[in-house]
Structure 1
């Protein structure tokens, strides 16, 4: 958020500089009030550009085969342009190349869920997906597995085709 503020300040300075140059080119026929107007417009435009470019820039940081499982879009009264096109505030993705089967033929896969949220640190969380039973589990370091590669003592946190993670992982594996 600090860099967003710095970028807004420099956008404002650039906008005021453009207005000052236009004023000089017009022989000072443009009013002095044009400088704060241009500064404000440039600050808003710079902030909007940063908001809308955040999602594609973060996707570039992930492996090339990354699959977006879900997105969280932002709309706000104080950002009226978001009612035309909401910007992505956060998303969850996984990369099939990072997926590991717990035991060959078990159809139980561990994925690295990449959880990204604007202005928050990135989180990578291991998630277990049982494709045969259509279940999803959060796993920890002390999770144990039976002889078939299935987790023991875990309660599912998602199930069925309505869960956005299960169909995506099972189709990619």
Structure 2
């Protein structure tokens, strides 16, 4: 967050400097408000670019086995440009490096989910997906796996068959 603040300030100074240089080259023919307006435009444009590039910059660091299953896009009145192009501010990814299947429960897959949001810490947790029954159980402290591959003390959440995270987890 601090680095992004510094980048926004630097962009403001940079565009203001270019406007000042253009004004000098043009022998002071530009209006006097051009330098502060350029500084404000530079800061605004950098803030917009940082917001819109967050998703690509974040997912670009993931290994190939991590697949984004679901994104959340928002529109805001105080960001009118988001009505033209919605802003992605959260996503759920499935980390397939942790996929496990039990021979006694072939329709289920244990995997790790990654939850990330703009200005929020990234969270990871394990989940079991029942691909046949279209449901999910989050692996919390009280959940145990018995010898038959069944979960004990799990709370199953019913999902629709076209749930993107379910399809992604069960797709491999």
TM-score by length of 1: 0.91
Q: CA shift at 1:77, angstroms? A: 0.8
Q: What is residue 90 of structure 2 aligned with on the other side? A: 90
What is the CA RMSD across the aligned residues, in angstroms?
A: 1.6
1:63 partnered with 2:85:
no
Residue ranges of structure 2 left out of the alignment (5+ in a row) = none
Distance 1:160 1:150 in 2: 22
Q: How does 1:22-37 map to 2 (within 5 A)?
A: 22-37=22-37
Q: Which runs of 4+ in 1 moved over 3 A?
A: none
Per-residue CA deviation, residues 2-33 of structure 1 (Å, 9 max, x unaligned), is: 33322211111111101100001101111221
Distance 1:5 1:95 in 2: 31
Contact 1:137 / 1:158 at 8 angstroms: preserved in 2? Answer: no
For 2:35, what is the secondary structure of its paired residue? helix
Contact 1:69 / 1:165 at 8 angstroms: preserved in 2? Answer: yes
Q: What is residue 155 of structure 2 aligned with on the other side? A: 155
Q: CA shift at 1:168, angstroms? A: 1.7
Q: CA shift at 1:134, angstroms? A: 2.3
Instruction: State the aligned residue count.
Output: 171
Per-residue CA deviation, residues 127-152 of structure 1 (Å, 9 max, x unaligned), is: 11122322201112432123321211
Residue ranges of structure 1 left out of the alignment (5+ in a row) = none
1:73 partnered with 2:48:
no
Contact 2:92 / 2:165 at 8 angstroms: preserved in 1? Answer: no
Per-residue CA deviation, residues 34-82 of structure 1 (Å, 9 max, x unaligned), is: 1011111111110111011100111112221322121111211111110
Distance 2:35 2:133 in 1: 64
TM-score by length of 2: 0.91
For 1:97, what is the secondary structure of its paired residue? strand
Q: CA shift at 1:105, angstroms? A: 5.0
For 2:136, what is the secondary structure of its paired residue? strand
1:106 partnered with 2:115:
no
Distance 1:133 1:171 in 2: 14
Larger strand proportion of the pair: 2
